[in-house]
Amino acid sequence: MTASVDNAQPSTASTDTLGTVIDDVIRPQAAIVDRERTFPRRGLDALAAAGLLGLASSTEVGGGGQSMRAVATVIERLAAECGSTAMVVLMHYAATAVIEAHGPREVRAAIATGGHLTTLAFSEYGSRSHFWSPTGTATVTDDGTIRLDARKSWVTSAGEANSYVWSSLPLSQGVGPMTLWLVPADSAGLSVTGDFDGLGLRGNGSRPMTADGLRVPSAAMMAADGAGLDTALGAVLPWFLVLNAAFCLGLADSAVAEAGRHVTGTTLAHTGAALRDAPVTRRDLARLMIRTAALRAFLDDTLTALESGRDDATLRVLQVKALAGETVADVTDGAMRLCGGSAFRKELGLERRFRDSRAARVMAPTTDALHDFVGRVATGLPLLDEANR
């Protein structure tokens, strides 16, 4: 598992621009996106106009050329305000990593300049969260084009993205378990085949998609036939796992901040004491703060391991989403408990963060799968059994 990263930080201009977009668009729209299950198009358009959707793209094609660390900061700050927007942008950056390595220059340039939203289309009904075992097929037709047939179970930004990094079985047997394709959104035979009314991340457009006789040119293949798993593990997974951890950190940090404001500003009329005056309340808040700070330190160490090429970088990348998913679930639960009945009010924003946080555990690779991966790496086993490769 490798990823090309450096320790470059976002410029002051890009940081200030992100803050303006958050203040003017993302934060005011967050509750509406959640309540009405609205795809956050206004926020994405504002991020695109600010050059932030091209942040991870190469400067060669007009992108920001920023590091994984800089991109993680963007995801963290977006997640603190709107989980749905953050997840759409996260999946865009993860798919961009593949396109930057293997996609056509014109698409790379469109992403770099904010005119192209992309996403991953890996999970399928047949293999569920085992993204490394696709069941969808790719076949060569008589005219030399490629026919794709698949039932994707969940695709973020389904029907909203301009392209999909699409997985399938390889064209040829014995060359590997998976091949990746760049599928344009306007491809005939591609359709959104369901709706999403979920517990959390209600505006991220995560819906099933079907390819039924979809045709793409052979040039749509990214990397070699059968090399899709190696590409997914090497180019996609580090970005996906690290950015998921940043997503969890943003949710946890904002939940702790909201809980802190509540216990500081709420007074019991019959005693005149603030909630913070109770030692048990201060203790519980401190525990949430420490858990969140520990996640921040682990994420920082993971990025440092990648940037420096440390021997434990792969292990850290596998660990960080597992740790983040459990941490954010516990922290948001603790913040709900700390704020009591007030936490159930929509205007406080805690219950939305609580719901959004549950996604990290089940997004592939799930927490259970990551624990197995960590154990395999730690004991000298290959990440996946050969039967799954």
Dist CA 100 CA 8 (whole Å): 18
| Confidence (pLDDT) at 13 | 46
First-to-final CA distance of the chain: 14
**Tokens linked to 256:** 């702790």
Domains held by the chain: number: 3
- The answer to the question of residue 40 being in a domain is yes
Question: Is 134 in the same domain as 89?
Answer: no
Dist CA 121 CA 343 (whole Å): 35
3-state secondary structure of 110: helix
| Confidence (pLDDT) at 8 | 46
Q: Which residue has the tokens 């060669």?
A: 60
pLDDT at 306 over 80: yes
Q: Stretch 4-13: mean pLDDT, rounded?
A: 47
Dist CA 77 CA 98 (whole Å): 24
Percent of all residues in the chain with a pLDDT value above 70, rounded to a whole number: 95
Model-level pTM?
0.94
pLDDT in tens, 133-154: 899 999 999 999 999 999 999 9
Domain-ending residue, one of 177, 205, 228: 228
Predicted confidence band of residue 15 (pLDDT cuts 50, 70, 90): low
Question: Is 292 in the same domain as 383?
Answer: yes
Structural domain including 171 reads 121-228
Tell me if 108 sits within 8 A of 162, measured CB to CB: no
pLDDT at 4 over 50: no
Question: Is 326 in the same domain as 233?
Answer: yes
Q: Stretch 198-213: mean pLDDT, rounded?
A: 96
Domain-ending residue, one of 92, 117, 142: 117
Question: Is 82 in the same domain as 129?
Answer: no
Question: Is 69 in the same domain as 145?
Answer: no
DSSP 275-319: GGGSHHHHHHHHHHHHHHHHHHHHHHHHHHHHHHT-TTHHHHHHH
Average model confidence (pLDDT) across the chain: 93
Q: Which helix (H) or strand (E) holds 239?
A: helix 237-265
- The answer to the question of residue 5 being in a domain is no
- The answer to the question of residue 23 being in a domain is yes
Question: Is 43 in the same domain as 100?
Answer: yes
- Which of 12 and 184 is assigned the larger pLDDT? 184
| Confidence (pLDDT) at 80 | 98
Predicted confidence band of residue 267 (pLDDT cuts 50, 70, 90): confident
- The answer to the question of residue 26 being in a domain is yes
Question: Is 237 in the same domain as 383?
Answer: yes
The b/e string for 134-167 (b: 16+ C-beta within 10 A; e otherwise) is bebebeeeeeeebbbbbebbbbbbbebbbbbbbb
Predicted confidence band of residue 387 (pLDDT cuts 50, 70, 90): low
Question: Is 376 in the same domain as 318?
Answer: yes
